[in-house]
Structure 1
Amino acid sequence: MHIIHDKVLFVISDHKTDYLILEGNDSLGFFGELITVGSHQAIKIPLTHHNANILRSHFPFTNPIPVLRKKRSFGLGDRLGIAGEGHLRVFKACDAYPVLAQQSMRELTLTKRSYEDVLDAASFAVFKFGYHDGFGADGDHLKKMDDIENVLKLGYTMITLDCSDYIKNDVLTLSDEEIKNRITLPEVMKKIYLDREINVEGHLIHFNEMDLMRAYYVYQDAIEYTTKVYQKFFKNQAYAANLELSIDETMTPTKPVEHFFVANELKNQGVVLDTLAPRFCGEFQKGVDYIGDLNQFERELGVHAAIARHFDYKLSIHSGSDKFSIFSIIGNHTKGIFHIKTAGTNWLEAMRLVAIKDPNLYREIHAFALDAFDEARKLYHVTTDLTKIPSLKTLSDDELPALFQLNDARQLIHITYGAILTAENNQQDRFRTKLYRLWSSYHQEYARMLESHIGEHIRKLYDGFIS
């Protein structure tokens, strides 16, 4: 409950959707319906984009803020627009800043939502639950100038620049001689990097000629594009927003020398990054724990974290959902200064709730997901083996929730979210209405599940730097 111009404004629910209720008959710019309750008049206000804008104009705490320069930040990709309460329960109890509004163009296309929808859901959530500590809004994995400009004008306070279109992955097929024939290293670059050792917190960064040529070949176009984006949108604080650079969408892990090269070249161009996301060794697949050599990951993470500190930005870890085996390592080597991105794990918890509360609906969706999997797999890198998922015919209803403890079953449901949410039957949505009705009926259970699950992410991260 909040006061605006001496009038009470609060949120109610009719078990189907939420509304704002404003005391009196003065709309204060909101669009709504005048209602009478006993002898009192009030305005019933639907949660539309217009009304979200009015809410943000009256209550500054419902606007996102730049958070990447805070010590700890945590991205929460709420694909459904209903995870706010569970997320805010977690972040009311810790000092990390949540990025409540975080979606990519791919996610919006697959869920048929918009950047307005995502930001509005976050603003209404912080108003409803009285969260005043600040939250971020991330235009995630954006590639095009027009898309970047659009989300910044909407008020997003962070852009994750995806440079994968400018990174040359064909380097994997090229010999040293072929690379030498394709590029000519600028002499000034040779003077900067060759025949010297660079000490970064005790880690020695050394470039041989082929290291430098490969880094230049793979990343130079991405560096030039990042510079253009920075100069247009971020130089001289054109927008009150942070810039994260994503170079994790590559075919090979980012070597420390390559990380240093990218960061140093951007610094030389006057680009100020707030976070950078390398591609780490091992596998960061969707919705499951880290796959790879933990010792190698820890060794290389230590160097990457030192490079990030050297250039005064935070290290960002993408596809951070459910990476429980490495969270304490991340917390330790980043010294508690990090940005973590999660997304699909919130969707998985929502679907686990379906398996608990409506087994028949879950069985129907699971069968649909098996049919949709091959098409969905084209958009995601996963190593799912469908033969390892038990046939649902062999499982009782009480056993269905345990499927979400199996990596292959988790990834089946994880990557088919778009197909599930947009499926139609006789020109009517097949699952979406049923799902949202269930989630609305059990919203408190969903909030508790998220509080526990996302809370476990935070606890393990903090274990790494709080003794």
Structure 2
Amino acid sequence: MYKQLIKDLKGDSLKPYYEGIKVYTDSLSQYLAAKVVLIRQGAQKFLVATGSGELYEDLIGYENNGFKLAFPTHENRLVLNKYFPYTAPVANTEHRTSVGLGDRLGLATPGHIRAVKDTDVFPIFAQQSVRELDMTHRKYEDVIDAASYAVFQEGYKKGFGADGDHLKTKEDILKELDLGATMITLDSSEKIDNTILDLNDEELLTKYEVLDASIRSYYEEKYLDSDVKFEGLSLSISKIQLMRDVLTYYAAISFIQEVYEEIIKPYKLPLDFEISIDETSTPTNPISHYIIAQELKDRNIIISTMAPRFIGEFQKGIDYIGDLDMFTQDIRAHVAIAEHFGYRISVHSGSDKFSIFPIVARETHGKFHVKTAGTNWLEAVEVLAEKEPALYREVHAHALDRFSDATALYHVTTNLNNIPSLHDMEDDKLPEYLKNNDARQLLHITYGYILRDQDEHGNFLLRERFFDALDDHMEDYTKHLDEHISRHLALLNLK
């Protein structure tokens, strides 16, 4: 079966298909006397190598009649990284406008590549939070492996990043750096005291006066009654506002400093460092943003991006909910601060926020980071609705069963009464669920249960059949992702 493929590989005249074999011709690569290409036979992908030398010898596989067949393992990914550096994630050292393209399934990156390949976007193909890894039964090295092999498969050589997303502990940061992360998103939400915003002025003063006197005097001498002016923005810091900000954020600022000085600054390779302050119960006041940014500067903490929480609702899988004029004024203020201090604004939960994308592009002057994640999952579910209606019905029914559990992890305003019953939907109408905001949220936030729930014997209820179905319709999935992410990029004025 491989005879003609190997003959052609030695001569470089590869065809996309041989008997029972799909060849990813864009992956054909050569290092000195060795050539390697990625193929697919059935549901399994392989690396096929010919020739001789270090690359050929380093690949772990089975030799047969002058070629080596190697599984796309983690160890072999490291071999590809060594000889073809474009397959390894790197930091965004040119500070290009960037988009995080999380891939919960490990199958989405080819579609993402098709969307970004003709743009100047710096893509973060490997992006997963600890929570997402747990929900999908994956490890962070699996995420980078999948992205690297997809980059090799598609012959994409413009560079990509790997984001250790929403990391909250030093241990997790060190672990993911060791595994190859090139971007760290520090989520300091556990150090932010959200209860302060609910206090009245008297309660606020009582709590503030308990704070160590040295902390109070430090912030008061530096910020109290200050009038801060940026281009198009003027901020006046009152005693009440300062007390709220100090009590809410001082521990988080100290934690950011610890992480930077102990881990980020000593790190030997280029690294993108993002500060996330969006996991709060209310929008980030521009004064709060300013105080945090000034403290980072004065403590010599260099960041690439910061994610405040903006006005309005950034719920999962649906468009922005809120007043667009108010959002415009809000992001304009945050951009003024970010530009003054020399970093880019990051927009989290950016999937499908189509109405604000033109505003983001305009107000940031085209310099930003936008994170998407779950939208690749919803595109997979839509493929099931189109191609595998019986399986889709099981997925939808299980999502309904697990919805109340999922709401403990995600803030959504889903109204299940707005979702038509499965019994009322003909098979050819099932894709309409993915155009219903309430159904999108239902399917979005229950992904972990769909992928990991098991029966009493330890067998997955849906996971294996879900992946098998996607495997059967991989080209449809890739096309869906290309079109969907391309819509994001076009509205962000990137394509």
TM-score by length of 2: 0.91
Most deviating of 181-190 and 171-180: 181-190
Is 1:30 the counterpart of 2:30? The answer is no
How much has 1:84 moved relative to structure 2?
1.2
Quote how far apart the aligned CAs of 1:262 are: 0.7
User: Corresponding residue for 2:146?
Assistant: 121
- For residues 308 and 94 of structure 2, what CA distance do their matches in structure 1 show? 18
Note the 1:50-449 alignment, pairs <5 A. Answer: 50-67=75-92, 69-183=94-208, 184=213, 186-425=216-455, 426-449=457-480
Partner of 1:454: 485
CA contact (8 A) 2:34 2:52 kept: no
Worse-superposed segment, 20-29 or 69-78: 20-29
CA contact (8 A) 2:125 2:161 kept: yes
User: Do the aligned partners of 1:389 and 1:409 also contact (CA within 8 Å) in 2?
Assistant: yes
Alignment check: 8 A CA contact 2:33 2:52 kept: no
1:44 maps to which residue? 69
Is the contact between residue 197 and residue 244 of structure 2 (CA under 8 Å) also seen in structure 1?
A: no
Look up the SS of the partner of 1:245 in the other structure: strand
TM-score, normalising length: structure 1: 0.96
Q: 1:125-178 CA deviation, whole Å, 9 max, x = no partner? A: 111111110000000000010110011111210000000100001113312222
Q: Give distance in 2, aligned partners of 1:21 and 1:232.
A: 43
Find the counterpart in structure 1 of residue 34 from structure 2: 7
Aligned length: 460
**Does the Cα contact within 8 Å between 2:33 and 2:51 map onto a contact in 1?**
no
Q: How far did residue 188 of structure 1 move?
A: 4.0
Task: Answer whether contact 1:370 1:412 (CA < 8 A) is retained.
Answer: yes
Counterpart CA distance in 2 for 1:144 and 1:315 is: 23
How far apart, in 1, do the equivalents of 2:435 and 2:289 lie? 35
Following superposition, the deviation at residue 189 of structure 1 comes to 2.6
The separation in 2 between residues aligned to 1:202 and 1:11, in whole angstroms, is 53
The whole-number CA distance in structure 2 between the counterparts of 1:248 and 1:94 is 28
Which consecutive unaligned segments of at least 5 residues does structure 2 have? 1-27
Q: Percent identity among equivalent residues?
A: 45
Q: Is the 8 A contact 2:129 2:164 kept in 1?
A: yes
Q: Distance in 2 between matches of 1:145 and 1:234?
A: 10
Q: Measure the CA separation in 2 of the matches of 1:250 and 1:124.
A: 36
Distance 1:171 1:153 in 2: 37
SS state of the match for residue 205, structure 1?
strand
Taking the aligned partners of 1:380 and 1:310, their CA distance within structure 2 comes to 33
Question: Alpha-carbon deviations, 1:348-401, whole Å to 9, x = none?
Answer: 000100000010000011111100111111111111111110001111111000
Q: Secondary structure at the match of 1:186?
A: helix
Most deviating of 4-13 and 326-335:
4-13
> Contact 2:225/2:239 (CA < 8 Å) preserved in 1?
no
Q: 2:93–2:270: 8 Å Cα contact kept in structure 1?
A: no
- Deviation for aligned residue 1:194: 2.6
SS of residue matched to 2:331: helix
In the alignment, the residues of structure 2 paired with residue 304 and residue 77 of structure 1 have an alpha-carbon distance, to the nearest angstrom, of 25
Q: Are 1:25 and 1:42, in contact at CA under 8 Å, matched by a contact in 2?
A: no
Taking the aligned partners of 1:174 and 1:391, their CA distance within structure 2 comes to 44
Instruction: Could you tell me which runs of 5 or more consecutive residues in structure 1 were left unpaired when the two chains were aligned.
Output: none
- Relative to structure 1, the CA distance from residue 187 to residue 459 in structure 2 (aligned partners, 3 Å threshold; closer, same or farther) is same
Between the aligned partners of 1:12 and 1:77, the Cα distance in structure 2 is 24
Matched letter for residue 151 of structure 1: E
The DSSP-based 3-state class of the residue aligned with 1:448 is: helix
Question: Which SS does the other structure have where 2:451 is aligned?
Answer: helix
SS in structure 1 at match of 2:306: strand
Residues 198 and 172 from structure 1, CA distance in 2 versus in 1: closer, same or farther, beyond 3 angstroms?
closer
Contact preservation (8 Å) 2:313, 2:321? yes
Q: How many angstroms does 1:31 deviate by?
A: 1.3
Secondary structure of 2:39's counterpart equals strand
Partners of 2:74 and 2:141 within 8 A in 1:
yes
In the alignment, the residues of structure 2 paired with residue 135 and residue 182 of structure 1 have an alpha-carbon distance, to the nearest angstrom, of 46
Contact 1:101–1:138 under 8 Å retained in 2:
yes
CA RMSD for the aligned pairs?
1.4
CA distance in 1, matches of 2:403, 2:217: 50
Q: Contact between 2:350 and 2:370, CA under 8 Å: does it hold in 1?
A: yes
Q: Give the Cα–Cα distance (whole angstroms) in 1 for the partners of residues 384 and 64 of structure 2.
A: 35
Secondary structure of residue in 2 paired with 1:23: strand
- 1:5, CA displacement in angstroms? 2.8
1:69 Cα deviation after fit: 5.0
Deviation at 1:8, TM superposition (A): 1.3
Cα deviation code 1:194-239 (max 9, x no counterpart): 3332111121011111111111110000000000000012225544
CA distance in 1, matches of 2:445, 2:227: 44
- Aligned match of 2:20: none
2:57 maps to amino acid: L
